[in-house]
Structure 1
Amino acid sequence: MRVVSLVPSLTEAIAVTAPGLLVGVTDWCSRPPALDARRIGGTKNPDVAAVLGLRPDLVIANEEENREPDLTALRDAGVQVLVTEVRGLDQAFRELERVLVTGCSLARPRWLDEAEEAWAAVEPLPRLRVVVPVWRRPWMVLGRDTFAGDLLARLGVVNVYAGHAQRYPRIPLDELRASGAQAVVLPDEPYRFTADDGPEAFPGLPAVLVDGRYLTWYGPSLVKAPQALSAALRAALGAAGRAG
């Protein structure tokens, strides 16, 4: 098969499972580091002509990351497009199997079993209220119905804005500071929060700097994600307890 992936998470999942299957990927597909495939633009602005030039048997996409006009253009040209939807962990596991086994005709990989086992063994933390910015200028946070929010909930985290009407609401910084959160979780993607860029906006709140791949990617990273995220959150919980 010749496969083009327009989704970084799924690019990694396919490349780890069947090296050489991918002939085209986006500029944002950074995993695995030595990935050898044609770059065809961004997730929001792929070069449709370049994709068609690769003669793919299958294009992998996601309803949130990719634009419908691009997918329609590919379908109109006769290309099979598999569109995924991932709003929670269980759905992510189902979609990964659909992409790899049904879409790419591969055997179910061992790492997918290991990921399910790792998350089934999670011991939730004591209740920890957090805000989770994903952007600044303007400030945007995790709201309702998100994959990252579901992961955090399984770890015992209470997202202050989980009940918001929007999935990624824009919230003024003053409101975030007054939200009653015990900590702020700062991933390094899509906005690259760092120790010097983000924590200073929340004086007095423990800042949990996390690898965005463990929080927002659905693929092989799910094997290590529960342990990595739990360790970071437990440190913040201890800091919140000392502050209280």
Structure 2
Amino acid sequence: MAERQTVRSLMRIVSLVPSSTETLIHLGANVVACTRFCEQPHLGNVGGTKNPDINAIVALAPDIVILDQEENRQEDAAALKEAGLELFVSDVVTLADALELIQDLETLIGGTPTPNVAPEVTPIGLSIFVPIWRRPWMSISGRTYGASLLNHLGCTLVTAEADDTYPEVQLDEVSALAPDVIAVPSEPYEFNDTHLVELRNSSPDSTIVRVDGQDLFWWGSRTPSAITRLHDALNPL
């Protein structure tokens, strides 16, 4: 145990992925810096996920930098690699990926990985639309972590078959899809009450509910409890 703790405390990690930052801290890793979107005010930040300060990261001399295929840009990964830094790049698009990543990060910091299992829940059995942006209105397809999580909850995502991973949609198209529920996440877009009125007017037969965007889109250590919280939020509908 002491040896594992030493490895964790000595390995200097910079994380450019909010989900991984949260998970690493949960695992007891020595995260020396992260992005301003990671919501870890006790840590220094090195810019954003799409525009990290490469020079600041190099100056920290981390043992490893954590990135993600979707969250971060290839050119930044290339610049960090050219600077001689070791990278760990995740690629999370399913619930299974998220649970496996917890084990991968545990192994990375010298711990002993333990299996992570998604809690079983009673299938909700509702069709659902999830807006993630406005101007233009956008949603998620079935090829995303959020969709995989909703599928585990027993929800049918009405935009699952979209060609784009994050398709643009028109509100009249959403109305034609007739979702039982419009689940409005708290991020990445900050929807206000006026936006909810737009959604309600376009789909008067749909129930509109606000949900925690981090529970829906952040993966890793929060995943098991996020499943329970989202199920509690959606199941009464």
Shared fold (TM-score greater than 0.5)? yes
Secondary structure at the counterpart of residue 24 of structure 1: strand
Which residue in 2 is equivalent to 1:81? Answer: 87
Q: 1:123 to 1:4 in 2, by over 3 A?
A: same
AA partner of residue 199 (structure 2): F
Does residue 5 (structure 1) correspond to residue 11 (structure 2)? The answer is no
Residue type at the aligned position of 1:64: E
Residue pair 1:96, 1:219 contacting (<8 A) in 2 also: yes
Match among 146, 163, 174 for residue 165 of structure 1: 163
Is the CA contact (8 Å cut-off) linking 1:142 and 1:161 kept in structure 2?
yes
Deviation at 1:37, TM superposition (A): 2.1
Q: Do structure 1's residue 53 and structure 2's residue 62 form an aligned pair?
A: no
Specify the alignment match of 1:147 in structure 2.
Answer: 145
Check 1:100–1:197 CA distance in 2 against 1; reply closer, same or farther (3 A cut): farther
SS of the residue 2:66 aligns to: strand
TM-score, scaled to structure 2: 0.89
Q: Distance in 1 between matches of 2:222 and 2:104?
A: 18
1:16-27 superposed matches below 5 A: 16-18=26-28, 21-27=30-36
Paired residue for 2:133? 135
Could you tell me how far apart the structure 1 residues matched to 2:235 and 2:106 are? Answer: 34
Q: CA-to-partner distance for each residue in 1:58-79, whole Å, 9 max, x for gaps?
A: 0000000000000111111110
Give the 4+ runs in structure 1 shifted more than 2 A: 106-109
Alpha-carbon separation, structure 1, partners of 2:180 and 2:212: 20
User: 1:225: Cα distance to partner?
Assistant: 1.2
Judge conservation of contact 2:119–2:227 (CA < 8 Å) in 1.
no
Question: What is the rounded CA distance, in whole Å, between the counterparts of 2:80 and 2:64 in structure 1?
Answer: 10
Asked whether the equivalents of residues 135 and 141 of structure 1 are also in contact (C-alpha less than 8 Å), the reply is: yes
Question: Which one-letter code corresponds to 1:48 in the other structure?
Answer: I
TM-score normalised over the length of structure 1:
0.87
Q: Note the C-alpha offset of 1:197.
A: 4.4
Q: CA deviation at 1:161?
A: 0.8
The 3 A distance-change label for structure 1 pair 198 and 106 is farther
Contact preservation (8 Å) 1:82, 1:99: no
1:105 aligns with: 110
Alignment partners' CA distance in 1, 2:58 and 2:111: 23
Q: Which amino acid aligns with 1:124?
A: P
**RMSD, matched Cα:** 1.5
User: How far, CA to CA, are the matches of 1:215 and 1:24 in structure 2?
Assistant: 24
Q: Does the 8 Å CA contact 1:5/1:24 hold for their aligned counterparts?
A: yes
* Corresponding residue of 2:208: 207
Cα–Cα, structure 1 residues 61 and 155, in superposed 2: closer, same or farther, change >3 Å?
same
Cα deviations by residue, 1:19-50 (Å, 9 ceiling, x for unpaired): 5x01110000115xxx5322100000000000
Shift of the 228–120 alpha-carbon distance from structure 1 to 2, 3 Å rule, reads closer
Structure 1 unmatched runs, 5+: 237-244
The alignment of Structure 1 onto Structure 2 pairs a total of residues equal to 223
